Chains A and B, each alone.
Chain A
Amino acid sequence: MATKINPGFSKELKKYGAVNMNACYNCGTCTAVCSLSTTDDSFPREMVRYSALGLEEDIKSSLKPWECYYCGECTANCPQTANPGELMMSLRRWLTAQYDWTGLSGLLYRSLSSTIAALLLVLAGVLLFANSVDFNAERMLHIGHYFEMTAIGAVLLVIFLPNLLRMWYFTIVKPKVKAPFKNYVTALSDLLVHMFTQKRYKECDGDVHFRWLEHFVLVIAYLSLLFTTVFLNWFGSQSIFVIVLGYVESFLIFVVTIDFVGSRIKKNKSLNQFSQPSDWLFVIWLLLMGVTAFLVRLFIDLGLIETQQWMYIIHLTVLAQWALIIVPFGKWTHFLYRSFAMYFLKIKSMQ
């Protein structure tokens, strides 16, 4: 069977953040120093090679980009400074764009101006909404709560479900991996474990344990804050337990994201050398989410929210931008795709 190659692929991938990958002279140092690379599953050089050759289909059907947790060892030791770590990162962005049926992911990754336009559009929408309810704090809080629930449901059904099906199609169905239904059931536990713990990240070499812990705390705090606001109605709750829980969660998000933003500014780790707009957007918005949620609840507790509605408008804007742009089309999806990649890998390995 003839293999299709796309000679413009490396150019295309540059828009997703790939740096200098054509400098690779195929020594294999990256693969050899990678602590997650195994005889059965060797990367990242294979991906560098596929990218240089423009073997789009092979990349699209591969789960390897998701197996990398970007410890940065390959980039630090690459004798050609071809930056395999950043290439793997850009492949994850590119794959996200391939999985996304709307095409918006790709557009937002490639173009900063579209991202800004989208953020402004959401801001305008929030202001219009606030105007339509005469900036009444109570009404805004009430509708905001329902908006959150609807947004989650809609993103899940309209974006994530079809995208995950596409990912499954590209990586399992199209390469003709035969997996009985039973495998899908037994591998489910792996899906959950990887989703909530990212345990493979701990197998990375070097000083990643603290980062893994930070990451773990962030995921748990974020998911539980989501649960607290949506299902326990944090902003409307009278229960002291729920209120304190929300404070703790948002505070944790704030602490961890501050550290993440800080290390991206300092560029002290190789994974922070080449931050893309999507990376900045992700950490900063997560930070803002934590801070504004914390302040809104504080304003409620201090009885300020009736007069200081702007606080909630800011929070709602951040929330809406997060829920409508970053979660469905941005870096947040990595969380989902990576977990499912682990799931599909498990299914593949069970044959």
Chain B
Amino acid sequence: MEERQIIEYDALVIGAGIAGGEAAINLANTGYKVLLVEKDHSLGGKMILLSKVFPTLDCAACITTPKVSEIARHNNITVFTESEVTHIAKKGDNDFVAQIMKKPRYVRVEDCTACQLCEKACPVSVRDEYQFGLIGRKAAFIPFSIANPKAAVIDIENCTLCGACEKACPTHCIDFTMETEYYELHAKTVILATGFNLFDPLEIPRFGYGQYKNVITSMQMEREIAPTRPYNTILRPGDGKVPDRIAYVLCTGSRDNTIGNPICSQICCMYSMKQAQLLMGALPMADITIYYINIRSFGKGFEEFYQQAKGMGVNFVKGKIGKITEKENGNLILRYEDIAEGVVKEAEHDMVVLSVGVKSNPSAGKIFDGNSLKLDPLQFVAQQDFLGSPAKTSIDGVFVAGTASGPMDIPDSILSAGSASSEAISYLTRYQSL
């Protein structure tokens, strides 16, 4: 058995996306000590990688980065990156014991200046997961330009241990002797903000993702139009051509029983319209067509956003894409039924964006003993009192924030985090006053 360091905090927040981060700030601002555990190399979750947000078209990074800095610098918050909570046991009220595994980064974050000399020195190139495979990165790398902590990471899976980065590093912060650290945390309350997984369109072979290079996911397009974008313009990956006719396939992996996800992603209509509007700004001559089953513009300002997209000239076609085939020049033929006319049609586009849906991240269910943390049939964290106290889970003292409980957009995630942190604070005070 490994050596475990025993640590103590008031609250454990799992997941440092926008929901987990918001919950952690709320708790910390109230005076509670918070441990924020993140499995990835950076804070900010998926939101920090987005271009802009609907329906205001505010810059996503401009909202996320100040928040992320606040979390990182907050006196009451300790952040563990590349760490996982492996087990939580509830010993009693206000008494949780969590086992945490902190994997080595092989870089001493406090010494790293993010000078990128290790990146230049590293001879290994692999696909960059933070750019969703659009470009490559090195095995010694800074995750992305606005990452926090902004420090290098050694991707040990792909590292050849050549030592080039170590020699190049001016502050000698690279340390290959780092080992996994184990912690035993005593906390009074737990917030689950484990987020969601994007649907993997490889599950729908008839859309040709992975086979046709000019079929990309909405997250890849999000990267192409983000301020920190990889190509500095919009290109289709097959041949680097600037696309003229871009198609959006809504409900890719949502509202679809065949891949076991019958529910609406709540976001794919809106982010597709957002991307369409941004693309019309970036590529004024391009035609953008959105193929949809139903447009669900249900939130505040959403319907106006939809009308704005239509007014800008985005072409909306009712009909789900059935099949995609590739032409020799890399263009794509989309076959669909035009529901307005009731006839099968084929349309040619030079780039297709699959608006992928939201799937659960079932990992939270495995942390707790037995089946004490109830999940819903789609493996999201079950909300015990959905209308009364949506943040409550099946375990008293464990609360859920953001998309861990189901698909939702960014404003709803932040609201949900507020609710979870309030519930957690009320749980903390309930037993303190006794």
Contact = CB atoms under 8 A, between A and B. Distances in A.
Interface string A21-32: 000011111111
Q: Which 4 A-B pairs have the closest CB atoms?
A: A32-B322, A28-B337, A27-B320, A79-B256
A298 to B, nearest CB: 49
B345 interface: yes
A33 B206 contact: yes
Interface string B318-351: 0111110000000000011111001111000000
Contacts of B258: 76-79, 81
Interface string B345-368: 100000000000000000000000
Contacts of A31: 322, 337, 344
B343 A39 contact: yes
B206 A77 contact: yes
Nearest to A38: B344
Interface of B: 206, 251, 255-258, 262, 293-294, 319-323, 335-339, 342-345
Contacts of A49: 342
Contacts of A37: 337, 344
A174 to B, nearest CB: 21
8 contacts: A25-B255, A27-B320, A28-B322, A31-B322, A31-B344, A32-B323, A40-B343, A42-B343
A29 B322 contact: yes
Interface string A146-168: 00000000000000000000000
A78 B256 CA distance: 8
A34 B336 CA distance: 10
A180 to B, nearest CB: 27
Given A31-B337, A32-B335, A79-B255, A45 B342 contact: yes
Interface string A55-93: 000000000000000000000111111000000000000
Contacts of A81: 257-258
A32 B343 contact: no
Nearest to B292: A27
B344 A32 contact: yes
Contacts of B344: 31-32, 34, 37-39, 42
B98 to A, nearest CB: 40
A46 interface: yes
A79 B322 contact: no
Nearest to A79: B256
Given A79-B255, A80-B257, A81-B257, A28 B339 contact: yes
Given A31-B344, A76-B258, A25 B293 contact: yes
A80 B338 CA distance: 18
Given A39-B345, A42-B337, A46-B342, A32 B319 contact: yes
A32 B342 CA distance: 11
A97 to B, nearest CB: 26
A38 B344 CA distance: 6
Interface in A80-129: 80-81
Contact of A28 (B206, B256, B294, B319): B319
A29 B257 CA distance: 13
A158 to B, nearest CB: 39
Contacts of B262: 79
Nearest to A27: B320
A32 B257 contact: no
Given A32-B321, A32-B336, A79-B320, 11 more contacts: A25-B255, A27-B251, A27-B320, A28-B322, A29-B320, A31-B337, A32-B344, A33-B323, A37-B344, A49-B342, A79-B262
A318 B10 CA distance: 81
Contacts, number: 70
Given A39-B345, A77-B206, A81-B257, A26 B323 contact: no
A30 B343 CA distance: 12
A38 B293 CA distance: 20
B59 to A, nearest CB: 34
Contacts of B335: 32-33
Contact of A42 (B251, B256, B294, B342): B342
A25 B262 CA distance: 12
A331 B188 CA distance: 69
A283 B320 CA distance: 37
A307 B322 CA distance: 63
Contact of A32 (B251, B256, B337): B337
Contacts of B323: 32-33
A350 to B, nearest CB: 21
A305 B150 CA distance: 94
Contact of A27 (B293, B342, B343, B345): B293
Contacts of A45: 337, 339, 342
B73 to A, nearest CB: 46
A54 to B, nearest CB: 17
A27 to B, nearest CB: 4
Contacts of A25: 255, 293-294
B257 A79 contact: yes
Given A32-B335, A33-B206, A77 B322 contact: yes
A301 B201 CA distance: 63
Nearest to B256: A79
Contacts of A26: 293, 339
Contacts of A34: 344
A76 B321 CA distance: 15
A37 B342 CA distance: 11
Contacts of B257: 78-81
Contacts of A79: 251, 255-258, 262, 320
A28 B258 CA distance: 15
Most buried by A among B258, B320, B339, B345: B320
A76 B203 CA distance: 14
A30 B336 CA distance: 9
Contacts of B343: 39-40, 42
B271 to A, nearest CB: 19
A37 B322 CA distance: 12
A27 B319 contact: yes
Nearest to B294: A25
Nearest to B341: A42
B1 to A, nearest CB: 49
B255 A28 contact: no
Most chain-A Cβ atoms within 10 A of its Cβ — which of B256, B257, B258, B322? Answer: B322
A26 B337 CA distance: 10
A30 B320 CA distance: 9
Contacts of B338: 28
Nearest to A81: B257
Contacts of A77: 206, 258, 322
A32 B345 CA distance: 8
B339 to A, nearest CB: 5
Contacts of B336: 28, 32
Contacts of B206: 33, 77
A52 to B, nearest CB: 14
A120 B293 CA distance: 51
